Amino acid sequence: MEYRADFFLGVFGQILGYAADYVILWLLIQSFSTIDGWTWPELAFLVSLNILSYAIGASFTYTPTANMEELIRTGDFDKYLTKPLNTLMYLIASMFNFGYIAHITISLSILLWSVTALPVQWTFLKILYLICILIGGAMIQAGALILVSCWGFLFTKSQYLFSLYFKMKEFISYPMSIYAPFIQICLTWIIPLAFINYYPSLFLLGKQEGVLVYLTPLLGPIFLSVVIKLWFAGVNRYQGTGS
């Protein structure tokens, strides 16, 4: 908070940017009424789950993972290895990003609005399930960012993969059912982004039930644990770049 004006202007700009995404989606709905049967409140709920879970997970992991390429290239990563601390936790603690308060503000606001606008009976179990999928979705989002950064241990350069990840994440702003089967398979079983918001939304909105809708709370911790093991495997083989 040393530069408060800069911080708050940045937050305001981020809120405007994500608000524009919601407006674009709303304009599409005005033209087509629904998208594969999904109404505006349902789509707002779908997108908000994506943005809110990302904001929670990225608050801890985006800055350290996005900086991994530079840390490895310059040799600055070595200083994190000299401390008697868990390397990943040290990175996260030293680079926690408070700027994601903007993402949380806009997505949580729209999420709460959509919850009241939807004809859904919110029981205690559904509210508990919603909290669990937000936590599980945040773990998937955090795990995906850590996984991308692992590439840096092998090839030093990893920044371009972040752009690819964010392009892929845009797919889950819309129902998976509008995509070809190949894309649905990729976003379900290869990079499990569909579990962040699509499958949970099917259950909460009463569109579909099945085993997939219950996997997010379980898949999040499992995916994150596996990715963390891969990250430390990369640390163990890290030998510096000779900078």
- Looking at the domain assignment, is residue 243 inside a domain? no
pTM higher than the cut 0.85: yes
- Looking at the domain assignment, is residue 231 inside a domain? yes
Taking residues 106-127, what's their average pLDDT? 92
Structural domain that includes position 153: 4-237
Return all residues near 141 (Cβ < 8 A) that are at least 6 apart.
Answer: 53, 54, 56, 57, 58, 196
Return all residues near 88 (Cβ < 8 A) that are at least 6 apart.
Answer: 64, 146, 228, 231, 232
What's the pLDDT band for 233 if we cut at 50, 70, 90? Answer: very high
- Looking at the domain assignment, is residue 19 inside a domain? yes
- Looking at the domain assignment, is residue 166 inside a domain? yes
Per-residue confidence (pLDDT) for residue 82, from 0 to 100: 87
What's the pLDDT band for 242 if we cut at 50, 70, 90? Answer: low
Contact yes or no for 211/227 (Cβ under 8 A): no
Q: What percent of the chain has pLDDT over 90?
A: 56
Domain total in the chain: 1
The distance from CA 241 to its chain's CA centroid, rounded to whole angstroms, is 30
- Looking at the domain assignment, is residue 70 inside a domain? yes
- Looking at the domain assignment, is residue 108 inside a domain? yes
Q: Which residues pair with 35 in a beta bridge?
A: 38
Residues 129-173 have pLDDT tens digits of: 999 999 999 999 999 999 999 988 887 787 888 888 999 999 999
Alpha-helix runs per DSSP H in 118-215: 124-155, 159-169, 181-185, 194-204
- Looking at the domain assignment, is residue 29 inside a domain? yes
Per-residue confidence (pLDDT) for residue 135, from 0 to 100: 96
